Structure 1
Amino acid sequence: MSIESVVIEAIAKQKQLSLDAISLDSKLQDLGVSSLDAITIVYEVEEAFDVEVPNDALERLDRVKDIVEGVSRLLSKDTVG
């Protein structure tokens, strides 16, 4: 399962949206994602990929692709080390 699909499914589930309503360029704010929602969504993604997203990174999330790219970076650090 791709990072993108896990993130989009987590957002869709949290906000009760259709998968088609969410793209990589969707702004989290436009999707109705609050900071509390973002924590829940990121937790699901962390569980799916066994990574830990730093709390300070949560504040910088603006679009769906920010979550996808952040998790991708974390995963690539894990495989390098």
Structure 2
Amino acid sequence: MNATTQQQVFEIIAKQAKTDVANVKPDSTLKDLGIASLEAIELIFDIEEHFNINFPDQQGADFDRDTAQSLVDAVDKALADKAGAGEGAA
């Protein structure tokens, strides 16, 4: 697990939830943090922009029920996929 990625994702979640980052735990759901569906979509866009990645369209459908850690895992996967695609594009 990349702690830096986790910290950055948790900070973005905390900003959207208008709470302290200490309140964001790996098993916190966005719903638990008070982030509604429309806010979850905005959160996904913020994460994509911050990390310069794109989540598959269907992947964002259930993020409001997912945990903070599942978002970190999705970012890590998207970053790995992006790095892999970059290597093949040479």
Same fold (TM over 0.5): yes
What do the CA deviations read for 1:30-75 (whole angstroms, capped 9, x no partner)? 1111111111111111111110112211123211111111111111
TM-score of the superposition, structure 1-length normalised?
Answer: 0.87
Q: CA RMSD in A?
A: 1.5
Among 3, 9, 12, which residue is 1:10 paired with? 12
- Taking the aligned partners of 2:35 and 2:48, their CA distance within structure 1 comes to 17
Paired amino acid for 1:5: Q
Match of 1:30 in 2: 32
* Equivalent runs, 1:1-81 vs 2, <5 Å: 2-61=4-63, 62-81=66-85
How many pairs align? Answer: 81
Structure whose CA Rg is larger? 2
- 3-state DSSP of counterpart to 1:4: helix
Q: Show structure 2 runs of 5+ residues with no match.
A: 86-90
Return the alpha-carbon distance in structure 1 between the equivalents of residues 74 and 31 of structure 2.
18
Percent identity between matched residues is 30
Instruction: Supply the distance in 1 between the matched residues of 2:39 and 2:80 (Cα, whole angstroms).
Output: 25
User: Is this contact kept in 2: 1:12–1:22, CA < 8 A?
Assistant: yes
In the aligned structure 2, how far is the partner of 1:48 from the partner of 1:2? 13
CA contact (8 A) 1:7 1:41 kept: no
Report deviation, 1:15.
1.6
Q: 5+ residue gaps in structure 1? A: none
TM-score, length of structure 2 as denominator length: 0.79
